[in-house]
Amino acid sequence: MTQKGKIMSKQSEVNIKVALDENHIPHDIEWGATDAGEEQARKAKAMMLAMWDKEDETSMRMDLWTTEMTIDEMKRFYHQCYTSMAESFERATGEDGMGAAMRDFADFFGEKLQILPPSGKFDK
């Protein structure tokens, strides 16, 4: 972390614990962060983690979900991920047009999976 060329010393640690069953399928996901202001780890049914490798200039991903995650929850999870990726992309790049296009796709996805009410926008 830098501020006007100076390296800042504040750090935060994110911890993720995944419990696997005998078939190596996740059955419990817990996470917490040192600066989140919470004492206990939070439970999750699914996670997506993406990182940009500085040396290889490639993305690395980890997608996990527990056996408790329902299909309806997975649909909502993906819709919310698409929406938040559009917002992050727009903030990071200033590409307003592409951010809007990404949000349109998220809306299309949500309507087709019937997790959003029909808008009429995608009827053709």
pLDDT value, residue 19: 97
Q: Is residue 124 part of a domain?
A: no
**Residue 29 sits in the same domain as residue 78:** no
pLDDT value, residue 67: 95
Q: Which of these three, 33, 49, 67, is where a domain ends? A: 67
Averaged pLDDT of the chain: 92
In contact, 121 and 107? CB cutoff 8 Å: yes
**Residue 95 sits in the same domain as residue 60:** no
The pair of structure tokens assigned to 102 is: 């990404």
**Residue 79 sits in the same domain as residue 37:** no
How many domains are there within the chain? 2
User: Which DSSP symbol is given to 61?
Assistant: E
Give, for 20, the enclosing helix (H) or strand (E).
Answer: strand 14-20
Whole domain around residue 25: which residue ranges? 10-67
The pair of structure tokens assigned to 82 is: 């698409």
The pTM for the full model equals 0.84
Q: Is residue 41 part of a domain?
A: yes
Q: Per residue in 14-65, pLDDT tens?
A: 999 999 999 999 999 999 988 866 667 899 999 999 999 999 999 999 999 9
**Residue 31 sits in the same domain as residue 60:** yes
| Residue of 113, 28, 121 whose CA lies nearest to 77 | 113
